[in-house]
Every structure is written in C-alpha cells, then in structure tokens.
Chain A
C-alpha cells in the first residue's frame, strides 16, 4: 500500500468528502432546527430579552380647598430606579453611585435584598436632587441597570398648617400590600400611596391607574429607548378632590395658635357638617415625608415630647368638662324633664347636699336660683346636679349613646378615636367593678365622670345647637359619603334657650366676653376646664376648652368652632379668643370684609382705645378693663404622655 497510489487517493478523497458533508450537514440541520422549526420560541425570547415593562406612575389627583385653591398638587421630580440584574454587578453599580449620592452601605444592602425578594425594579430615590440626576446621566455607561425618570412629586402647599388634614404619601410597604386596601389588581411594590390623612382616606380615587411603558434595553441594562412595537399603556391620572376645608382659614388657625401650646381647633360649617378647618398643634410639614423621610427628621418628629404627629383634633380624647353641660341640657329638654324657663327648686349656695354627701359648685359663692339659660351662663353645677337627677342615670346614658358620645363621628379620615362614655349602666361594673348609683348621673351631668371626647366630637355636638338639633357627620371632602348623623328632638324654643345660655357666657359680664366680642359677629359659646391626670395632682394646669357658634347678629350661626388648649387653664381666656378669631376670619372672608389682625375686644383695648363699635354692639357693658394674662406662658409638663385624660374630670 502506498500513499501515491492513484486509486487509493480517490478512495481517501471520497472519505474526506463524506466526513465534510456529514459535519457541515449536521451544522445545517442544527440551524434548521433553531431558525425554522423552533424559531418562534427564540423570537419570543429575543423580545423578552430586551423589552421590559416599567411602571409609569399616574399623577396623583390634585386636592383643592372649598374655594378651588390648591392644597396639594404635583411638581416634576426625578426618581432613580435600579433594575434587577446579577446581584454582584448591581452591588458594584450601587457602590459606584454612592460617590454621587447619599447611599450608605446599609441602604445598598436593603436595596439588594428588595431586588432579590421582589425580582423587579426598586426605587433608590424617588425624589433625587437635580445635581445627582445630572451626575448620573453624565456617566450613564458607568451605571448599567440604573434609570432616571421624571415622576410627579407631591407638594403640600399648606405645609405645617395642614399636615394633619392632608396626611402624606409614601412608598407602599409589603405589609400594606397584603391588606385588602391595596388589592393586587391596582397596586404594585414601589408605588407611592397615601399613608395617612386625606391622602389615605381617598387613596383609591387620588391614585389613578399606573401606566406601563415598554422599554428596550441593551445587554448591559442601558435604556435604548421606548419600544416601538407595543403601545405603551398611558397612566390614568388620579381624580381631583375638593375639600370643605378653607385653606386660608386653616393657615390662619396655624398662625394664631400659640406656638408654645399644644391642642386642637375644629371649625365646622353647621349647614352641612363640612369641616372648614381641622388643626392640631403642634403640626408637622407633610412635605418632609416626600421621597422618604430621613432618619434624623423622623427621629426628631417621633421623639418630640409634644407629639407633632399626633392628631389631637380627631385622636386626642379630653374630658369635655362644662362644654358637655349643653348635652345634659339638650337631653333633659328632649325628654321634657325640664322646661327652659323652669327654675330648679334648690338654689345654688356653692354646694348641694345629696345622697349623704356634699356636691360642690365651682363657685363657692353660689349662683342662687337659675333657669336653664342662666345655669348655662353661670355654668352652675348645682343646677345641673338636679337636672341630672331628673334625667336619671339610665336615661342619661341611653340618650348620650344615641347622640353618639361613645362612638366615632364618622369623619372621612382613616383614623378617629371613639368617644369614651358608658354605653350602659352595666359598663361601670365591667370597667370599675361596682354597681353605679344615681350619683353617677350627677357627675355625668356636669361633664365629669368617665367621659372623654375628641375636639371633633364636641364640635359635631355644637353643630346640632347651631342647627335644629340634628348634626350630620363632619366631612372633609366635599362629596364625602355623608355618614349617619344624629338628632336631638328639640323644639325651636329649646334651641333658643340653649343658645341664650351660650350667649350669656360671651355677653358682657360672662366669663368669655372680652376674648370673644367682635365688631361684626355674634359669638356664643361655652367654656370648659378639663382636669387631667397631671392637673389633678397639681403638676400642671387644666385643659382649656371653648366651643362656640358664630354668625351675623340675629342670624343663625354660620360657623361652629371648638378649641382645646392643653394645659391652657382658662377656657375663657385662652381657648375662647382662638374660637372668636377663627370665626371672625372666616366670616369676614365670607362676607367680603377685609380681614384684620386685631379682632377681639381684648386685643383692641390691649393695643389702643376702646373701639367705637364696641359701645354700639354692647351698650349695656360697663367699661371694665379685662383681666391681664391674655396668653399663658408655656406650661408643658415634662414627661407628659399623649393626652388621653379620662378620669377624673371637673367642671367650672
């Protein structure tokens, strides 16, 4: 055998042809399988390779006040997002980014953990500074998998004045997503949702519908552009929301509320129960929460002893004290156990003996014989003891719970405290372990006993007095589903008698006259001095209440305002001026009268001569210089907890 033999060469050449054909044939078959037989799978795979869906946040609905002015809107903001990718490279990218933005290692680990858990994009900063954004965009190729987009950013124009009303938005948490409030069909991780306040209450309407954007990525996670083949689903903007709140009034309340004091102020429109102003002091600026609040600010807010995040207007419960005497009176009139002109048989001598003990009136001098209006004007305890006995404990509790003093108002806010009040005589046994005597009715009648109400609840009750005895549930949004209110069956003359009592409080000689006398408007109201756990021990002053109705003279009230000032001591001196100034501001704007800073009679005479209008409006008044100490110094007790003072309570 030899290499050189011709026939052998031809044979070997044939072998080489066969091997070549087999090998290349195998290749062609492989390509046929991939490119022809299973090409559809690969085409699909190519698309999913490079097309990713990104959420397009819907612009949140704008929140307007009752006059169409903007309370909360959206401004363009930048958000920085990281897409899921190989963990190590994501970590490296984030580490490089930390040179340009605030991204501590703990935050990086947190982001990586979320990428692992959700397997979808994670927002690093939903409110990035422009400098950060431009630094990232400049070095785009250094940051694969990072994309920056414009997103609507929430802005609250009321800032600190309206934080407790608007609430704020933030990124939805995993635990929130597990609740039915955030159904899977509408919510995804990373979305910005209402956390509290109106933002939370009307979350579904304000949210709108998140859109989808199809974006083409290259292999390194860099955005190449929007994908042309598929229609992007546009975001559906959230619905706008109109509130009953008067934005300027809300700001005014914030301005006049003493900075050193904590408390709440609620203004309601008696016509429909609309909330004109809802203020809790101290407030907080909801804008701080946009884009995620930083730990330092959060700690500051959270550890502040004055609890700025606590909405005292709807969550704080305080002994209503004498402001509640109107409820006793209303119930008694409703039941017909007293008539407006009837004088209680036993005069007030500063105290009253009943059931083997002496029951004191706040005024040891006594008030003598009083009819209903006089008793309200004097806040005479002895009158109301007798009234309470006539009503009887069972009926007092029954009617009070019918009015809803043991319930919530049903205001359109996600959180509201329930009033604390016995729901039945048996309540005492459950709560305190003793069978109540009729003496409990005496306590309840003057606003003492186990009775604690929110400022909002008291405001709702006074709305009934400003109307015909009925009170709709307070509503913050204009077209809020009107919650069931309640009704006192009071005849017009009964209402008139109760208002006459209120008038006496603010009339010349009344305890709240100087701070409530206004040029254009009548202010009727009731003071209250609520004892609290600290004041009982003499460690702090009592809480100051004032509940007032105001309107043009001789007309039905057009605004109901309730103010509570914690440790404010005097309802007449501290709380009443807030009510009067709030009502004056509102009514002046309503009637087109220029608003002024110096409003009440006391403010006038503290800054100048007795105004001319005062003599016209109150000709019967003697010229008496008001007592000094208009606004008490800060009396915040150290270590006070959230004021939730229920027992005991006293009335004056």
Chain B
C-alpha cells in the first residue's frame, strides 16, 4: 500500500505536503462560504473546488508518468502557443470573478481558463531548455538578453491585461532560473537596479546616494563587464529615475491609491485602504489561537474582501490564529525547500532549472498573497497556490507538481 502510494506520488514528501495543503484549501473555502447572510456562489465554492481537485489529481497521475522527452519536446511549441493565447486574450479575453476589469480569461465552451497560468509553465520549460543548453554560466548583460527576452514577451502581454501579480511571478521565474544557471548575484542585482531606482526616485537625495553606490560598484568591478554594459546600466537607472514622475502621473487614480495605501492604509480607509484594513482586523482579531474554524466574525459579516480567493489567508489568520498562520507558512516553506532540494539532487540541468522556475513562481505567489493580507505587500490580485479558490489555477498548479516530480526523478 505504502509502496503503491510511493509509486503514484513519485515524490512522496512533496506530493503529500501539497495534497494536505489542497485539502486545507478546500476546508478554508468551505469556511469562507459560511457567512451570516448566505451567498449561493461562495457557499458552494468548496464543492466545485473538490471536483477540480479530483481532476487535478487525475492530471497529475498522468503527467507524472509521461516520458521526459515529451516534456522537453513540448516546451517550445507550448511556449509559442501560450504567447499566442496571451495575445488573443488581450483581444477577446474577459474579466471574471474577483477581477472583472482585467481581461485574463479565455472561454472554451463552458470552461474558462487563464492563458497566463499555462504561459508560466511553458515559459519555465522553454527557459529551462534555453539555459540547460549552455555550457557556461551567463557572465555578462549581453548574455542575459536572450533568456530575458524569452520571459519579457509573456510578461509584457500579462502586464497589458493588466495583471501585475502574475507579471511578478514571471519576474520570480526569471530570477530564480538565472540564479540556478549560475549567473553571478551581482549581475542579477545590476539588472534589478533600474527597477529599484524607479521606486527610490521618489526622493532625489535617496536616489542620488543610490546611483553613486551603483556607479561605484561598476567602477570597482569594471573588469567584469564590458564598458557599454556598464554605461547601459547607468543610463537605464537614469532613465527610470527620470520616468518615475511621468509614470506616476500616468497611473490611474486607483493604482496610485493602492501604492499610497500600501504606505499607509488609513489614508483611504473606506476606499483603497479598506481591503488591507479589514484583512488586518480579521487577522489581528484571530490572536494566538484563532476564533475557531468557520466562526471568524469579520469573515461571517462579509467584511473580508474576496475571502475565498485572494484573501483566503485572512480567514486562516482570523479562525486559526497565529498558530494556524505559522503552520501554514511553514508548510509552504517545506514545499519550497523541497523543490530546491530536489533541484540540488537532480541529475539533469534541465530538471534543476524547471524546479527552480516553479520555486520562483510559487515563492512570489506565496509572498505576495500572504504578505498583502497583513499589508507587507501592496494589494495585487494574486491567488495562493493550492489554497485559493480557482479551478484552473489548482489544476495548473498540480500540473506543475507533476512536471516537477517527473523531471526530478528522471535518472539520466
């Protein structure tokens, strides 16, 4: 029996942990539907999630058994198809559920799915192929252009939807995989520096210190980069700093509000700050032991925004308390480190890169989703893997698990 389970799961610790997290998610979705004034849509969400979980497990069982060559073979075409789908989505996509204003869904008959979810996996596979084909590490900015562009294309399409949360997942994928491909950390930091500069530019003095630091680094380690690359980094920094003002002004008021509210939710407690405040009230009133499963008062009274999807972790906080949130975070921590561990043990470079890609995507999802429930991260509509309500998202997460365990246990 144990043997059978082992064979089915391929990687028992990872799959078992995620199986438990998925059940935990269903329980929370059920709880999220328990409100004083019932809403038929959210009340039955947990049943639909159960069905999707079964579908996801079936998909997992099959994909975890396909030959590795198939996966490698499908990477390129899948990437092309998903980019096309993303482009199509921009035209005929529709908004759904929690984000009606965002065109991120495609419908095929009665079933809808988000091409971005497919694109994440396809991008991971394509990037893993690209990077594993190299013999040496990426040591210069010029060498980063190809992998960077590979990710930038779907990222840009997702940004246009606009879905900032998923776009951030692509960034996570890129950096995690480049890191695993032995790209020097200082090089990654130089790449990231213009983005950091964009935010620091709100205060000229802070930015001035920062740019001096960047230039000093480039001068000190001038032998590591071509001159034009150094110049490009500096120019990019100046460009983003200059653009930060106009960029800020070009933001829609609600987007600006989200950033301001991140800095201080109380500036708009009934508007943009409402969600963070209500979420923090729920989490805080959970205290150490929580108010008990299904009995969170903020949740029951509908104060929690999107409590079965984006803010499901607030339900954890309110009903299961600090004990619950810590255990859940630890569970996610276990899953993430398990991915790294598998990557370190994997015999093929492709496998390690795929695992780190998945790691990067999930890390962003987990950090952003959980972080926003306590105001650590600005609010972006991004679900919590395996826990948030959402059929195709759960399915694609399990497909990712299947690929992860498949590549991790391939004997070269």
Contacts and interface: CB of A to CB of B under 8 A. Distances in A.
Interface string B287-301: 110000000011011
Nearest to A6: B344
Given A24-B329, A30-B371, A34-B280, A3 B180 contact: yes
B301 A219 contact: yes
Contacts of A42: 280-281, 283-285
B89 interface: no
B326 A50 contact: no
B179 interface: yes
A16 interface: yes
Interface stretch (B60-68, B115-123, B331-339, B402-410): B331-339
A32 interface: yes
A514 to B, nearest CB: 76
B336 A20 contact: yes
A86 interface: yes
A94 to B, nearest CB: 18
B190 to A, nearest CB: 17
Contacts of A46: 281-282, 284-285, 297-298
Given A16-B359, A41-B284, A46-B282, A21 B333 contact: yes
A24 B332 contact: yes
Contacts of B321: 35
Interface stretch (B44-52, B78-86, B134-142, B152-160): B134-142
Contacts of B134: 3
A24 B284 CA distance: 18
A538 B220 CA distance: 117
Contacts of A220: 302
B329 A16 contact: no
B349 A35 contact: no
A638 interface: no
Given A31-B326, A36-B322, A224-B36, A49 B288 contact: no
A98 interface: no
Secondary structure call for the B interface: helix
Interface string B27-66: 0000000011100000000000000000000000000000
B33 to A, nearest CB: 14
Contacts of A491: none
A30 B340 contact: no
Nearest to A10: B344
A212 to B, nearest CB: 20
Contacts of A36: 287-288, 322
A3 B284 contact: no
B303 A26 contact: no
Contact of A20 (B325, B333, B349): B333
Contact of B284 (A4, A27, A34, A217): A34
Contact of B285 (A15, A31, A45, A222): A45
B286 interface: yes
Given A12-B179, A16-B340, A218-B36, A27 B283 contact: no
Nearest to B376: A30
Contacts of A32: 322
Interface residues of B, number: 61
A293 interface: no
B302 A218 contact: yes
B224 interface: no
A9 interface: yes
B343 interface: yes
B385 to A, nearest CB: 14
B367 interface: yes
B390 to A, nearest CB: 21
A2 interface: yes
A640 interface: no
Given A27-B376, A35-B288, A1 B340 contact: no
A246 interface: no
Contacts of A26: 376
Contact of A31 (B181, B282, B283, B337): B283
Contacts of B36: 218, 224-225
B280 A219 contact: no
A2 B182 contact: yes
- Interface hub of A10, A17, A31 (most chain B Cβ within 10 A): A31
A19 B303 CA distance: 34
Interface of B: 35-37, 131-132, 134-137, 139, 176, 179-182, 185, 270, 278, 280-288, 297-298, 300-304, 317, 321-322, 325-326, 329-330, 332-333, 336-337, 340-341, 343-344, 349, 352-353, 356, 359, 363, 366-367, 370-371, 374, 376
25 contacts: A2-B135, A3-B131, A3-B132, A9-B352, A12-B180, A12-B344, A13-B343, A15-B185, A16-B180, A20-B337, A23-B363, A24-B333, A24-B367, A28-B325, A31-B322, A36-B287, A39-B286, A42-B284, A43-B284, A43-B285, A46-B281, A46-B285, A218-B35, A218-B37, A219-B301
Given A216-B301, A219-B278, 6 more contacts: A3-B132, A20-B363, A43-B284, A46-B285, A46-B298, A49-B278
